[in-house]
Structure 1
Amino acid sequence: MDLRKYQRIALLTDGFSTPFLAKTAINLLRYRGDDVVAVIDRDHAGSDAGTVLGIDSPANAGIPVLAMIDQHDIDAVFVGIAPPGGKLPPRWDDLIAAAIDQGIDVVSGLHEFLCNRSEWVSAAERSGSRLIDVRKNDFRSVATCAAFDENCLRIHAIGNDCSLGKMVTCLEIQKGLQRRDLDAGFAATGQTGIMIAGTGIPIDCVVADFVNGAAESLTLAHQNHDVLLIEGQGSLSHPMFSAVTLGLLHGCAPDGLVFCYQPGRDFVKGLDGVAIPPLRTLMDLSVAMANLRHPCRLIGIAANTSLLSDAEAESEMQRACEEFDLPVCDVYRNGPDVLVDAVIRLKQEQPS
């Protein structure tokens, strides 16, 4: 189903309303703010959602934080957190049960599935509530090395670690291209991206043999655009997630790569003491691995400079631009225009 059908969403972050844990809620507020009517967090009831979640945007002003779920104002509750391990917090049992009893649909992207709780399934059957587990899938097809539409330029975000802005980079480039009247699509491969786009494939929950096939199928289904931005996951050097990264890279067969990194992050997320390899090493590796499947080149760099001051960020981006001879920007601080320009240049090189 298309999750875009929900237009009165409550984001459930109860007890976990921090930038690290509530990144799903934060990005839904940024990219589907018009569809969000409330955030549910008993610890912050009565506050403003943007203030609680650290989003300084006029578009999100006035969205309330509530303690309870109001049936008359909400058509779905979206789980707004992405905690390590992907478990549903036990303290949420009564909130989710209340939503189900009121016939409100519940959407979750966590690894622990709503549909595995028999009491919730029974309650949903009585009330008409739908339990939607975004990561649940039965994709079982291998890749075929399909020939893609040459009129659709495929751009893939890759990086040197997980959780550093690959989805946001794709979405911001997509918006930038659309502002210039270009037909740009977005293919979501993670829980938050799917909740924003409405559809997609949760690539990290596809059986290993079928990851490439899932990425290929997703790309084929979205190639009716002039440009397609394909969300990346993990990194080729990440000891836990490299298989997903490579499967995506070969499955979507990109024409161009945007490399994402976070200055100041020296160690792999989730593995204390495991150093991230040098940027040059990973950039060269990414291009080499992509070219095993399809001709591809690196066209730009997206720097997540959230750990830096304005002056530090400017210095770091200038350094990276000079070192790698590529356009560099932070899509939040600077906007995506230099990366949009790079995509357009590559598009203009395509055979007509």
Structure 2
Amino acid sequence: MRLAILAHEAFPGRAKTAQGLLRYGEHDIVAVIDRATAGDQVSDHLSDVQEAPIVSNIGDTPEIDALVIGIAPIGGGFEETWRSDVTGALSRGCDVWAGLHHFLATDTEFARLASENDCQIWDVRRSPDDLSVSDGVARDLDATVVLTVGTDCSVGKMTTTMELVQAARDRGLDAGFVPTGQTGVMVDGSGIVIDRVVSDFTAGAVEQMLLERKNHDYLFVEGQGSISHPAYSAVTCGILHGSMPDAMILCHEVDKEVVHGYESFPLRPVSETVDLYESLARPVNPCPVVAGALNTSSTDTEDAREHIATYEDAIGVPATDPVRFDPDELVDVIENQ
């Protein structure tokens, strides 16, 4: 499938979905739409991802099958400045994928254009209707369940999860991916976006996905938010208790000191964060933080190694940057659980 990704004024730093699809998606990304960087190439801003031109609007894209909203703003709202690109795509008969809390299919204009042009709107965050509470059985699975957790949102949990899945598969391990966010669901083509699920059913939704994938030897669960986040901690707890993991990987970003979008809240020390996650896991399934993943993209290679060594000392377990360096060290730790 040929995709164009909308990322106006957010590419690359605040366009998490765009970055995830460019790095891990199997679809052909033929353009990124961003008024601020139009005329550039993706490689001018990101390395080791699909190459594509950056254009200013939907009219400048080549033939596509779908337009993807590649931005995940706080609160998941729709920006009216995107409307012309969405209507342009639907008028051309292209599907639209959106991972927003605002469902595009409920917009009268978008729904009419989709109907008239025989195309689909995929509101990725829309939850299944058949969810229920958890039965508390994830801990009984034969698979080794690994959950990525974070010191904050946007520190690399999805990226770390995808790197671990690929590294495990490259090693010949039978590894499954459990996507819990809009980008992971778009990459995988299945899954449930947990932050849209009714609170009572959050743990049950995670458990359901694990049971659907229970025949794998290893299940890597994409974490969300942070247990100390003032807005998203409920989602984090629901995923932790629903997955009942055997091991956790703590994700963090170099020099990050305050909560993203809530800068009046300082991040807790990483050693304290390890204790918080392990304490929260203990009542349902005792589980250690076995390794760390550090996002060092803002530093050079020499400084990155120093930051990783400091991070290892702070959390007391092995750590690496799984994108910049070899993720096999983390897979070694997981295999030895």
Per the TM superposition, whether the score is higher than 0.5 is yes
Query: Is it true that 1:31 corresponds to 2:20 in the alignment?
Result: no
SS in 1 for 2:209: helix
Q: Note if contact 1:71-1:104 (Cα within 8 Å) is conserved in structure 2.
A: no
Query: Is it true that 1:10 corresponds to 2:1 in the alignment?
Result: no
How many residue pairs are counted as aligned between the two chains?
335
Alignment of 1:33-182 (within 5 A): 34-51=27-44, 54-57=45-48, 60-61=50-51, 63-66=52-55, 67-69=57-59, 73-139=63-129, 140-147=131-138, 150-182=141-173
Q: Note if contact 1:38-1:64 (Cα within 8 Å) is conserved in structure 2.
A: yes
SS in 1 for 2:30: strand
SS in 1 for 2:292: strand
Q: Note if contact 1:149-1:223 (Cα within 8 Å) is conserved in structure 2.
A: no
Distance 2:315 2:112 in 1: 57
Shift of 1:68: 3.0
Q: Note if contact 1:40-1:69 (Cα within 8 Å) is conserved in structure 2.
A: no
- Deviation string, structure 1 residues 132-183 (Cα, Å, up to 9, x no partner): 1001114541111125564311000011111100110110011111111111
Question: Structure 1 residues 228, 93: closer, same or farther in 2, change over 3 A?
Answer: same
Q: Note if contact 1:42-1:68 (Cα within 8 Å) is conserved in structure 2.
A: no
Q: Note if contact 1:9-1:76 (Cα within 8 Å) is conserved in structure 2.
A: yes
- Deviation string, structure 1 residues 221-270 (Cα, Å, up to 9, x no partner): 12221111000011111111111111100001101100111231111111
Distance 2:37 2:151 in 1: 35
Distance 1:34 1:115 in 2: 23
TM-score by length of 1: 0.89
Shift of 1:26: 1.4
Distance 1:42 1:323 in 2: 42
Distance 1:309 1:249 in 2: 33
Q: Note if contact 2:11-2:34 (Cα within 8 Å) is conserved in structure 1.
A: no
Distance 1:149 1:104 in 2: 44
- Deviation string, structure 1 residues 297-340 (Cα, Å, up to 9, x no partner): 22101111233333332112112323443111011221211101
Question: Structure 1 residues 338, 118: closer, same or farther in 2, change over 3 A?
Answer: same
- Paired residue for 1:256? 247
- Paired residue for 1:198? 189
Q: Note if contact 2:139-2:285 (Cα within 8 Å) is conserved in structure 1.
A: no
Query: Is it true that 1:266 corresponds to 2:257 in the alignment?
Result: yes
SS in 1 for 2:147: strand
Question: Structure 1 residues 41, 235: closer, same or farther in 2, change over 3 A?
Answer: closer
- Paired residue for 2:208? 217
- Paired residue for 1:349? none
Amino acid at match of 1:280: S
Distance 2:271 2:291 in 1: 13
Which residues of structure 2 form unaligned runs of 5+?
none
Shift of 1:99: 1.2
Q: Note if contact 2:180-2:222 (Cα within 8 Å) is conserved in structure 1.
A: yes
Distance 1:70 1:18 in 2: 17
Q: Percent identity?
A: 39
Distance 1:34 1:136 in 2: 22
Distance 1:198 1:337 in 2: 26
Q: Note if contact 1:148-1:220 (Cα within 8 Å) is conserved in structure 2.
A: no
Amino acid at match of 1:65: I
Distance 1:115 1:311 in 2: 48
- Deviation string, structure 1 residues 71-100 (Cα, Å, up to 9, x no partner): 972111111111233222212212211211
Which residues of structure 1 form unaligned runs of 5+?
1-6, 347-352
SS in 2 for 1:272: strand
Question: Structure 1 residues 150, 43: closer, same or farther in 2, change over 3 A?
Answer: closer
Q: Note if contact 1:211-1:244 (Cα within 8 Å) is conserved in structure 2.
A: yes
TM-score by length of 2: 0.93
Amino acid at match of 2:21: L
Distance 2:256 2:299 in 1: 11
Alignment of 1:195-344 (within 5 A): 195-344=186-335
Distance 2:274 2:120 in 1: 43
